[in-house]
Amino acid sequence: MRTIYAIAIGAVLGAGSVFLHALLVPFGLIFVLLSTLVGIWSIGRMWGGRGLRIVASVTWTIVVLRAGFPGVNEEYLIEGSSVGISLINMGFLALVIAVLLPA
């Protein structure tokens, strides 16, 4: 059950990151990165274990990377601008930090 919750939390954090990263540049990006870091870290803090943080991080990665590819009508949710590229690059860095932080 905890794994399902970790997947759900990772998916919600990823979707929130996709939709809020370009809001009020650069504050939206900073907010998204901090919430991702704290959200993934808190999974390990709440339920203990690095494995659940890794599961949530992989789910976040799948959601964000899927948003960077073209959709059915060739629309992109994450643009190739500096803000979109920063979300992908610094988001992965935030995930690595969140997984490696002690619980």
pLDDT at 11: 98
Q: Is 41 exposed, middle or buried (0-12, 13-18, 19+ CB in 10 A)?
A: buried
pLDDT at 64: 97
- How much is the average pLDDT of 31-47? 96
pLDDT at 10: 98
Residue 103 reports pLDDT greater than 80: no
pLDDT at 48: 83
pLDDT at 26: 93
**pTM higher than 0.85, yes or no?**
yes
pLDDT at 65: 95
Q: How far apart are CA 61 and CA 67, in angstroms?
A: 10
